[in-house]
Chain A
Amino acid sequence: MEAGSEPLPLDILITNVVCVFRVRCHLDLRHIALKGANVMYKRDEGKVVMKLRRPRVTATIWSSGKIISTGATSEDEAKIGARKCARCLQKLGFQVRFGAFRVVNVLAVCSMPFEIRLPDFTKQQRPLASYEPELHPAVNFKIKPLTASMQIFSTGSITITDTSGEQSTERAEGARPEMRRKKTETTELLAMAK
């Protein structure tokens, strides 16, 4: 692994896709809670949580017909899961029309093969990076003007949240050169210390 040479293949895993959609009709939550399978009724908050097995998603259903689905591992899976959820509601007897599907958030995780020195990194990336060790052990790195936001840990793990899966991958690739600089210093110092 030479520093500054050709880019290493980064393993970027999408771990969570959050999407919203509508079924375009009012839903009777009590009916769903009584008759539906794999549901949990949260009466105080006015929502029903439905968990599907395949794809493994959790859907939060409101009586207005708005549904948020989380836990999918890819955007296509998210769509399939959403449709499955709508199908379940249809089988319970509601006049369901699937609409307004939109991916809201994609969470991807990747790991740099080196450790990162957070204070120095923050100093270099001043307005974009914010590091509060008392609040959270990671640096919050917001890539403007894009909607992506990254959390960089000192072990080299990075989580990226963005509104779309491809964008997250791009972001990770883009941020790597900056971290590479930090990596070389780290490895040099570790070598000196030992």
Chain B
Amino acid sequence: MIIRKRVKMAAMAAVSSPRPHPVTKIYCPSHPDAVLVEDYRAGDMICPECGLVVGDRMIDVGSEWRTFSNDHVGKDPSRVGDAQNPLLNGGDLSTVIGKGTGAASFDEFGNSKYQNRRAMTSQDRAMLTAFREINTMADRINLPRNIVDRTNNLFKQVYEQRCLKGRSNDAIASACLYIACRQEGVPRTFKEICAVSRISKKEIGRCFKLILKALETSVDLITTGDFMSRFCSNLGLPKAVQIAATHIARRAVDLDLVPGRSPISVAAAAIYMASQASADKRTQKEIGDIAGVADVTIRQSYRLLYFKAAELFPPDFKFDTPVDKLPQL
């Protein structure tokens, strides 16, 4: 945090900083209209007309040190304090007792005498713990900074509302992460969030619904296309197969071949069909592992798709295995 200080010009020169002449301040008795010149060396205010020293012992509030451009950045002495987290805390304007330096600050056992270094409100502490947890979770699945920021904001809103006070903070954090991913247009499945959090899917689902009610928002429905790029790249499938799978899934939903099936299952079945028709075949088990779907579920959805397989593929798809040779389960 930079504390901007007014730097007074050197008073040796005749130029003084233009300041409006305050009524209650000092002025030269013989020249009341004269703007006083400050001599910073001696701390005096001098009248430029007659040279009378009018004020005495003026405190210079200029900076204590000079900073040069080629100085090491980390040692800039005019910056004080940590980076502020203004939106998400009560403002970082608290005073903390720093670590002791001399021998006198340690008692006989080697512990520092002043132990209570950080006096934060318990609210702030809970929020900071949650932010750290969110960061860890997001880090595990490589989520970008904007999603993490959105999650933090959501968590703060929910926390301040106190509707979900009884729920575990970790559960609320996981649910906020889920909502943030959805809102940013890159939804993660509940199972993916479960994988990086210690909370069960049920609890995250419950918190998710409660948060939506508390914040009075809603989220868009998930579509099959949201997950295609992620699942396909995790399986190492080429772009053509990914495009084909996306097309298959979309056509299947449009034709309403899979009513009532979760979009994840439909996506998994579409990937299976596309990969089986191409040179890069993947088994149901592999796809099930990546998507978090049971392979019987893939089999069920696949059967519904197989029925109309010929119409689902994109027109320009290169078949390694023709449609009639696709596995029938």
Chain A residues near B (Cβ < 8 Å): 115, 117-119, 122-123, 126-127, 130-135, 137, 153-155, 186, 189-190, 193
- What is the distance, in angstroms, from B167's C-beta to the closest C-beta of chain A? 17
CB contacts under 8 Å to A, within B194-224, are 205, 208-209, 212, 218, 221-222
Q: Which residues of chain B have C-beta atoms less than 8 A from A132's C-beta?
A: 205, 208-209
Q: In this assembly, does B260 line the interface, its C-beta being within 8 Å of a C-beta of chain A?
A: yes
Is the beta-carbon distance between A190 and B256 smaller than 8 angstroms?
A: yes
CB-defined interface of B243-257 with A at 8 Å, one 1/0 digit per residue?
000000000010110
Is the beta-carbon distance between B263 and A133 smaller than 8 angstroms?
A: yes
- Partner among B205, B212, B256 whose Cβ is within 8 Å of the Cβ of A117: B256
Q: Is the interface of A mostly helix, strand, loop or mixed?
A: loop
Give the nearest-CB partner of A137 in chain B: B260
Is the beta-carbon distance between A127 and B263 smaller than 8 angstroms?
A: no
Is the beta-carbon distance between B218 and A126 smaller than 8 angstroms?
A: yes
Q: In this assembly, does B190 line the interface, its C-beta being within 8 Å of a C-beta of chain A?
A: yes
Is the beta-carbon distance between B218 and A135 smaller than 8 angstroms?
A: no
Chain B residues near A (Cβ < 8 Å): 189-190, 205, 208-209, 212, 218, 221-222, 253, 255-256, 259-264
Is the beta-carbon distance between A134 and B264 smaller than 8 angstroms?
A: yes
Query: In the complex the two chains form, what is the Cα distance from A155 to B258 in whole Å?
Result: 11
Query: In the complex the two chains form, what is the Cα distance from A153 to B260 in whole Å?
Result: 7
Query: In the complex the two chains form, what is the Cα distance from A134 to B209 in whole Å?
Result: 13
CB-CB under 8 A for A127 and B260, given A132-B205, A134-B189:
no
CB-CB under 8 A for A135 and B259, given A123-B221, A130-B218:
no
CB-CB under 8 A for A193 and B256, given A127-B218, A135-B205:
yes
Is the beta-carbon distance between A133 and B222 smaller than 8 angstroms?
A: yes
Query: In the complex the two chains form, what is the Cα distance from A131 to B222 in whole Å?
Result: 10
Query: In the complex the two chains form, what is the Cα distance from A127 to B263 in whole Å?
Result: 21
Is the beta-carbon distance between A130 and B256 smaller than 8 angstroms?
A: no
- What is the distance, in angstroms, from A189's C-beta to the closest C-beta of chain B? 6
Q: Which residues of chain B have C-beta atoms less than 8 A from A123's C-beta?
A: 221
Query: In the complex the two chains form, what is the Cα distance from A135 to B204 in whole Å?
Result: 10
Give the nearest-CB partner of B257 in chain A: A193
Give the nearest-CB partner of A118 in chain B: B260
**20 more CB-based (< 8 A) A-B contacts, given A133-B261, A134-B222, A193-B256:** A117-B259, A118-B260, A122-B221, A123-B221, A126-B218, A130-B209, A130-B212, A132-B205, A132-B209, A133-B222, A133-B262, A133-B264, A134-B205, A134-B264, A135-B190, A137-B260, A153-B260, A154-B259, A154-B260, A155-B260
